[in-house]
Homo-oligomer: A and B are copies of this chain.
């Protein structure tokens, strides 16, 4: 019963097998290898476009911060939700990579930005007021930190408004596959077709070992050279790039990443059903692979006694359970049994 995080799961076996296959003979360093070239072709198919550039990084923090640093000059800010991962969990990476740029935090239910507040802010701030730090980028997260999903239409609405205000649009897709699985949108619909300029395509949480891809769509491609330079000086251009590429290849091959996302989402729905069965309320609608349950202390104790791993004290008072590609029905069943059993003395 490990629901602590999708990052606690191992990598999918296909990923390590692909790395094994890549480990044969010499290969050009720093991304000039053949595996990386094949990933390019895969991404083109997955996103239904040739009009993109990309770079593979070993962590979501690296991908987000590199992506944002290409679009947010140090004298500007990035608008994001006040619970966004870039605000809560990346130790000021955006401030570091942008050279002192700033996050401009906004509220919103279920970790989704409120469109009205966003539109109002863009309407009212004075871009010519030299004393303030005007926004240069809007960063959305899908799946959000509360496990909720923006539909492709919602993303498009935010992106349209952002573009009107001269902002670039970043999507933190650490759990992009989970958002797609829930909404039914295609990768293209949820990204460039919705107006996303730069996407963090997270594959680590989905089932890779260490692989989060920055994708620059359309005109944002012009930032490709800068992205590589910034990656290099951040230590994110490992010599043997082929092993990052092999992970992406394995995940994208045959839509594995989407299959794994669907599995994780399905497990989360089953887990939610187990909670509901027991009249346990959920803090947020389950729209991905995360379940936030309002457990009473007895239930928390019982689960912990039985060895379940989860965040018992998530901000807001709920307990967070994350399902992954490796979550089994047996684990869900164990939760059910634990909840049903009586308290021990």
Interface residues of A (CB under 8 A from B): 2, 4-5, 7-11, 13, 16, 19-20, 22-30, 57-63, 65-66, 73-75, 77, 88-93, 95-96, 98-103, 105, 130-133, 204-205, 209-210, 226, 228-230, 232-240, 243-244, 309, 326
- Asked whether A61 lies within 8 Å of B237 as measured between CB atoms, the reply is yes
- Which of A89, A92, A244 gathers the greatest number of chain B CB atoms within 10 Å? A92
Is B233's CB under 8 angstroms from A236's CB? no
Residues from chain B with a CB closer than 8 A to the CB of A10 are: 22-27, 240
Given contacts A91-B229, A95-B100, A204-B238, contact A5 B29 (CB under 8 A): yes
**Within the assembled complex, what's the spacing in Å between the Cα atoms of A265 and B109?**
44
Minimum CB distance partner of A1 in chain B: B26
* B30 & A130 in contact (Cβ 8 Å cutoff): yes
Whether B100 contacts A132 by the Cβ 8 Å rule is no
* B residues near A25, Cβ cutoff 8 Å: 10
- Residue of B at shortest CB range from A28? B8
A240 contacts across to B, CB distance below 8 A: 7, 10-11, 204, 209-210
A88 touches B131 (CB 8 A): yes
Contact B236 A210 (CB under 8 A): no
Chain B residue nearest in CB terms to A326: B26
In the assembled complex, the CB of A227 is this many whole angstroms from the nearest CB of chain B, namely: 10
* B133–A91 touching, CB < 8 Å: yes
Given contacts A26-B9, A58-B58, A61-B237, contact A232 B130 (CB under 8 A): yes
The residue from B13, B28, B103, B130 contacting A237, defined by CB atoms under 8 A apart: B130
Q: Which residue on B lies nearest to A9, using beta carbons?
A: B26
- 16 A-B pairs, CB-CB below 8 angstroms? A2-B26, A9-B26, A10-B26, A16-B16, A20-B20, A59-B235, A74-B95, A74-B99, A90-B233, A91-B131, A93-B232, A93-B233, A93-B234, A93-B235, A95-B100, A96-B99
Q: Which 8 A-B pairs have the closest CB atoms?
A: A62-B235, A99-B99, A7-B239, A91-B233, A95-B100, A2-B26, A61-B235, A96-B100
Q: If the complex has contacts A62-B235, A92-B74, A235-B234, are A8 and B26 also in contact, measured as CB distance less than 8 A? A: yes
With CB as the reference atom, state the residue of chain B lying closest to A98. B100
For the complex, give the distance between the alpha carbons of A63 and B277 in Å: 50
Q: Told that A11-B240, A93-B233 touch, could you supply 11 new A-B pairs with CB distance under 8 A?
A: A8-B29, A16-B23, A26-B326, A58-B210, A62-B235, A65-B233, A90-B233, A92-B133, A95-B102, A204-B240, A210-B239
Question: Are A13 and B23 CB-contacts (below 8 A) given A90-B232, A102-B95?
Answer: yes
- Which one of B29, B63, B102, B229 contacts A235 once the chains associate, using CB atoms below 8 Å? B63
A206, chain B: closest CB distance, angstroms: 12
CA distance A212 to B297 in the complex (A): 44
| Chain B hits for A230, CB < 8 A | 75
In the complex, what residues of B have CB within 8 A of residue A7's CB?
29, 239-240
